[in-house]
Structures are given as C-alpha cells and as structure tokens.
C-alpha cells in the first residue's frame, strides 16, 4: 500500500509541475468566467445559459486535460526511461499503473476544486451567495467523467504508442459524447436490429449520463439520491473496467525502451 501511495505522490508532484497545469487552469477558469458573462448578456434564460456553458467549459477542459495527462504519465515514463528503472524496483506492474492513476485522479480533483472556486466567484459576482449542493453534485459527477477518461487514456497508453493511444482516447471521448444523440436521432424506419446495437453502445458508453444539469435546470427535476448513486456506480464501473484492462494488458507487455 505504501508503494502505491509513493507512486501516487510522485505522479501528483510531477503533474502539478507539468507545463500544462497552469494553462489548463487559466483556460478552465477563463471559460467559466466567459460562461458567466455570456449568460448575463444572453437572450435566453440566465440560468440555462450559465449552466450549459459552465458545464461544457468544465467538462471539456477537464476531459482534455485528463486524456492528455493519462497518456503523458505513461508515455513520458516510457520515453525518459524512468519506467524501466521503476519497474526494475520491487513494484508490481499493476501497482505502478494504479499508483499513476491515483496520482492523476488527485491532481484532477485538485484542478476541479480550483475550477469550483472560480465558479463560486461567478456566484458572488452576480450576488447569488454561496453555491447550492446541486452545484457540488453537478460538478462532482462531471469530475467523474474526467476520472473515467483518465482511466481510459491510461489503458490505451499502457498498451500502445503515444500517438496511437492519444488518437484512440480522443476518439473514444467523442464516441461517448455522440452515442446518445445518435440513438435519439434514429428514425422510426431504422431496423430493429440496428436500433438495438446503437442502444447497447449508447447504454454502455454514454458520457451524457454524467451531466445532470439538463434534467435539473431545464426540466426542474430534483436530484434523486438513487439516480446519483446509479451514475456514480456507472462511472466507477467504467473506471474499474478500464483499469483492469490496463493492468492485464500491461502485465504481459515486455518493457523495451
């Protein structure tokens, strides 16, 4: 266990110092601030625009950073050779991967907290006081998307080269965003078999499930604990699945720098 935390701490330290950290923070905070401004000047309902743009800024900035870092922490270790030295020490390969994931998750949560502080700033600037528990639930579930994508990109990075892994991770991210809209856009004439296939894919890999802003802000449906539990379980299952695949794939791989 201490080995796992040692690797997680090392990863946290490295990512915290990564050149992408400050730009990602600035871009995220900047987009959140812009969503605040756009909602103020927008023609539609203030809250709808604020939450639509805000969640999109939060989701996209964090997801891209998660994909990039997930890829980077494994690929950089391969490239600079520190992977070889670390695995030559008494560290199991799965422990190494899980430690890396844990470190990445910690940095992502840290980044998420900084974004939430910026969000609170928007609340204060419009005189709305402290943010509601709903906001915490909303951004919490969105952070789960980051964590799922981090596990996904670690999986690809552990079995493929950097460019291939990055391509596959981005492609999967896009697929996760468009699977549900494709399912909804199917015409009534679509054959039943095709519909079922699309339904299965959208059911298994649908990142919209993590965005609860639509149901609450647009349809005024309150957040139900059971519903939140379902979404959290879904996220954890996906994370566990990708990490398990990564561990199995990485276990068999020869480390040739």
Partner 1 sequence: MTHAMLEIKNLKKVYDRDLFKKKQLVVNDLSCSFLEGQCTALMGHNGAGKTTTIRMIFGLITPDSGEILFQGKPLTIDDKRCFGYMPETNKLPTNLTCEEILKHHLRVFRPKHLKPSEYKQAIEEKLKEIELWEHRHKRVGKLSKGMGRRLSWAQATIHKPNLIVLDEPMSGLDPLGYKLMVQLINKLRAEKVTIILCTHELWSIEQLCDQVHIMNHGQVVYSTLKPSASETKEASHIMTISGSNAESIQELARSHSLPLWLDMQSQNHRVELSFECYSDGVKWIQACIQNGLLIVDFQKLSALSEDRLIRYFGEEKTA
Binding piece for partner 1, criterion CB under 8 A, among 22-30, 46-54, 90-98, 219-227 = 90-98
22 binding partner 1? (CB under 8 A): no
Contact 231, 209 (CB under 8 A): yes
CA distance 151 to 70: 7
Binding piece for partner 1, criterion CB under 8 A, among 86-94, 137-145, 149-157, 206-214 = 86-94
Convert residues 110-149 into a mask of x (bound to partner 1 by CB under 8 A) and - (unbound): ----------------------------------------
85 binding partner 1? (CB under 8 A): yes
Judged by CB under 8 A, the residue of 27, 42, 92, 134 near partner 1 is: 92
Identity of the residue, 186 or 255, whose beta carbon is nearer to partner 1 in the bound complex: 255
Judged by CB under 8 A, the residue of 22, 23, 84, 125 near partner 1 is: 84
CA distance 119 to 86: 39
89 binding partner 1? (CB under 8 A): yes
Residue 219: name the closest of 46, 5, 87, 48 by CA: 48
Concatenating the DSSP letter of every residue in 129-196 gives -SPPHHHHHHHHHHHHHHHHHHHHHHHHHHHS-HHHHHHHHHHHHHHHHHHHHHHHH--TTS-HHHHH
Place of tokens 């891209």: 64
164 binding partner 1? (CB under 8 A): no
Q: Min. distance of Cβ 164 from partner 1 in angstroms?
A: 14
- Angle in degrees, CA 29, 26, 168, rounded to 5: 95
Q: Min. distance of Cβ 3 from partner 1 in angstroms?
A: 6
Alpha-carbon separation of residue 103 from 8, 21, 154 (angstroms) = 4, 14, 12
1 binding partner 1? (CB under 8 A): no
102 binding partner 1? (CB under 8 A): no
Alpha-carbon separation of residue 52 from 150, 214, 218, 230, 249 (angstroms) = 23, 8, 10, 22, 38
229 binding partner 1? (CB under 8 A): no
Binding piece for partner 1, criterion CB under 8 A, among 33-41, 82-90, 112-120, 153-161 = 82-90
9 binding partner 1? (CB under 8 A): yes
Backbone φ, ψ for residue 252 (5° rounding)? -90, -10
Q: Min. distance of Cβ 85 from partner 1 in angstroms?
A: 5
CA distance 210 to 228: 9
Place of tokens 């809209």: 181
20 binding partner 1? (CB under 8 A): no
Residues 60-79 interacting with partner 1 (rule: CB under 8 A): 77
Q: Which residues bind partner 1 (CB under 8 A)?
A: 2-3, 6-7, 9-10, 13-14, 17-18, 77, 80-82, 84-92, 252, 254-257
């Amino acid at each position: 266990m201490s080995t796992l935390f040692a690797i997680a701490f090392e990863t946290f330290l490295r990512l915290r110092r990564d050149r992408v950290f400050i730009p990602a923070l600035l871009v995220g905070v900047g987009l959140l601030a812009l969503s605040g401004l756009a909602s103020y000047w927008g023609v539609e309902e203030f809250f709808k625009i604020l939450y639509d743009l805000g969640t999109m800024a939060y989701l996209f900035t964090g997801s891209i950073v998660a994909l990039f870092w997930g890829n980077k922490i494994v690929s950089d270790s391969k490239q600079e050779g520190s992977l070889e030295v670390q695995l030559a020490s008494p560290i199991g390969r799965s422990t190494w991967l899980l430690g890396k994931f844990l470190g990445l998750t910690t940095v992502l949560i840290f980044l998420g907290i900084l974004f939430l502080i910026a969000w609170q700033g928007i609340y204060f600037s419009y005189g709305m006081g402290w943010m509601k528990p709903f906001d915490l639930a909303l951004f919490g579930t969105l952070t789960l998307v980051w964590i799922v994508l981090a596990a996904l990109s670690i999986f690809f990075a552990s079995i493929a080269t950097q460019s291939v892994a990055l391509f596959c991770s981005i492609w999967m991210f896009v697929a996760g965003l468009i699977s549900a809209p494709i399912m909804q856009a199917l015409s009534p004439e679509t054959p039943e078999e095709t519909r079922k296939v699309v339904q299965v894919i959208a059911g298994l890999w649908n990142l919209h499930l993590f965005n609860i802003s639509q149901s609450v802000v647009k349809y005024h449906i309150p957040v139900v604990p059971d519903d939140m539990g379902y979404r959290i379980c879904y996220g954890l299952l996906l994370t566990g699945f990708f990490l398990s695949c990564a561990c199995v794939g990485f276990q068999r791989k020869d480390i040739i720098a």
